[in-house]
Structure formats: C-alpha cells, structure tokens
Amino acid sequence: MRFIPSDTLRELITMPEAITAMQSAFSALSDGSAVVPLRTTLDFPGSDARALIMPAYHSSSRYFTTKIVTVCPTNAARHLPLIHGTLIVTDGSTGKTLALMDAEWITALRTGAASGLATEWMALPDAHTLGVFGTGAQAYEQVRGVMSVRKLTRIIIFGRDPQKTTTFCKTVSNQFAIPCFPAQAPQEVSQCDILCCATNAHNPVFEDKYLTHGTHINGIGAFKPAMREIPSATIARARIIVDQRASAWREAGDLILAQKDGVVAEDCIAGEIGEVVTHKTSGRISREQITIFKSVGNAIQDNVIASMAYERALKAGIGTEI
C-alpha cells in the first residue's frame, strides 16, 4: 500500500486537469456509470461532531475509493482544523488496498474544480468580478477554480473575521496577481458577476436585493438540511443546477429550507451539472438570469481525483510503500 502525503499530492494535478476530471465525474453520475451508494453519516453522541463515509466506484476506471471525513465544530476553539479526512484507494478487480491519501486537499481541489466547471458552463462569458464568502481552504480553491475558466479582474472577499479576511486577500493577491480585497459593505455583492459561497453558515450570507442581473452563484456550503447560505428569494427566481438531484433533496439546506418556506417545489431544479456538460440541458437561458450551482459534494468527485493522483504518484515514484 502506498501512502501519499498532502504536500506531494498538490503537485500531481493542476486545476484545469481537475476541472476536466469533474466533467467526466459528473457525466458518469448523471448517466449512471458511476456507482455511488448513499453516503453514511455518523453523529458522535454527546457532541456536534459527525463523520461522513463516502464510497464510490467508476466503472470506466479500476479504482474503488472510500473517503472518511470528520467535521468537528469545536475544533476551532482548540486551534485544530474543522475538517479531517482520509481516502483509501482499492483495486476494484482484486480488492487489494492500493493507497492511502490525505483527503483534505482532494476535497478542496475537487470542490473548487466543480465550481470551476459550473462557472464555465453557467456564468456569463464576460464575467470578471468574483465575490467569495468564506476564507478557509475551500474558499481558496474556489478562487482557483473560477479563475481557471474566466478572466477575473478583481476579487472581493466577504469574511466574518477581519484579520482572517485581510490575510486571505493578501495570499490570493500574491499568488494569482489579481486585485483581491475585503468587502466594505454587503451591497458590494451587486458588483459581483460570480459569487462563491463556501461557509458553514446556517443563515443566508447575502441579501437577494443586492444581486445584479446575470450573476452566477456557486453554493458549496449548506451540505446539511438545516444549513443555508443562499436566501429563499434567490432560490425562487434563479435557474438551479445541482450535482445530483437525489442528494440535493436529502442534504442541500438551501433548497430544503426554501421548499419549507413555500417558495419552491421539487421541480425548481432545472438539471444536474452532468446533464449540462453533456448538452442535455442548459446552464443558462438568458443574460439576465441569476444562475445557481448548488453542490453538496459527491463521492465520485473524490474517486476521479484520487484515481488520477494515485496513477501519477505511482508513475512518478511519489509516496511511500507501507
């Protein structure tokens, strides 16, 4: 079994490659060639921590993957990461365990790449201003994903903690040579052609009235029924594309709570991103339309990225045999 640590993983796959991989992953999810059982959720009694166990198999590759992710909200107070994760790659033919990887980077990369893919197919072609809610590892990969598919001229960061927001802006400006600064007021949402919501919020992070015509929103937080980032009024008027219909209605708080609010019905989902990239439906119908890509994350995304990382690590002699 090969152990591939996080720092070497980063060098193995570029963001444009990850976006192409997401196109294949979501196509497989929509056409049924991906085998993805419902993910298992385990709540630890006596705490608000939980584990997600996410297995997936892609019949066109030979790899079966299982990602084990834990989310421990009390970790922040202990100066530990909120999310930890491990990913196991198994040979789908012999059942042998092939590799063990750190799952944090894979999760952030595939989530950023999914937003990149959705932005490519849904945002206005001339979109140039990105607004980001969140300042964590996910937010960083959201920036990378979006800038791979649109020529950004500036990035506005909407963070709760001023110090973290400033640090994040500096990192992004330095890394990508795009002006990146903290938002001064909530109305600045109206200057954004693309919004990425990458928070752990339980209430909307912006007001619907500030949205400009034509804005595209990637919503990647709100992966539990009681969480939400996007206001019901926006859900009600937007064209909504999801990663997977079944998991959206099971887990996506943004949609579930909007339905509870009575503003939308089940038919509010226009399609899956896998249907958009295979031309079965459109990501956007008009320039004026607000579009939303709502994703709770799917194990097939991890499968495709981890399989690629494993093959490349093997070829390049990266990692340790244990």
Query: By the criterion CB under 8 A, which residues form the site for a second copy?
Result: 1, 3, 5, 35, 37-38, 40-47, 49, 51, 53, 55, 57, 59, 64, 66, 68, 70-72, 75, 78, 80, 83-86, 88, 90, 92-97, 100, 320, 322
Give least dist CB 73 to a second copy, A: 10
For the packed helices 299-316 and 103-122, what is the interaxial angle rounded to 10 degrees? 120
Contact at 8 Å (CB) between 302 and 107? Answer: yes
Nearer to a second copy, 65 or 232 (CB): 65
Q: Which residues contact 167 (CB under 8 A, 6 or more apart)?
A: 135
Give least dist CB 47 to a second copy, A: 7
Contact at 8 Å (CB) between 13 and 301? Answer: no
DSSP letters, 158-174, are: E-SSHHHHHHHHHHHHH
User: What CA–CA distance (Å, rounded) separates 277 from 35?
Assistant: 19
Q: Is the dihedral of CA 137, 142, 145, 147 positive or negative?
A: negative
Give least dist CB 311 to a second copy, A: 19
Give least dist CB 65 to a second copy, A: 10
Grouping H, G, I as helix, E, B as strand and the rest as coil, residue 301 is helix
Nearer to a second copy, 78 or 315 (CB): 78
Nearer to a second copy, 47 or 187 (CB): 47
Nearer to a second copy, 95 or 262 (CB): 95
Contact at 8 Å (CB) between 144 and 132? Answer: no
CA 189, distance to chain mean position in Å, is 20
Nearer to a second copy, 42 or 246 (CB): 42
CA 53, distance to chain mean position in Å, is 17
Nearer to a second copy, 61 or 173 (CB): 61
Nearer to a second copy, 106 or 194 (CB): 106
Contact at 8 Å (CB) between 29 and 274? Answer: yes
Give least dist CB 79 to a second copy, A: 11
Give least dist CB 89 to a second copy, A: 10
Give least dist CB 8 to a second copy, A: 13
User: What CA–CA distance (Å, rounded) separates 89 from 115?
Assistant: 24
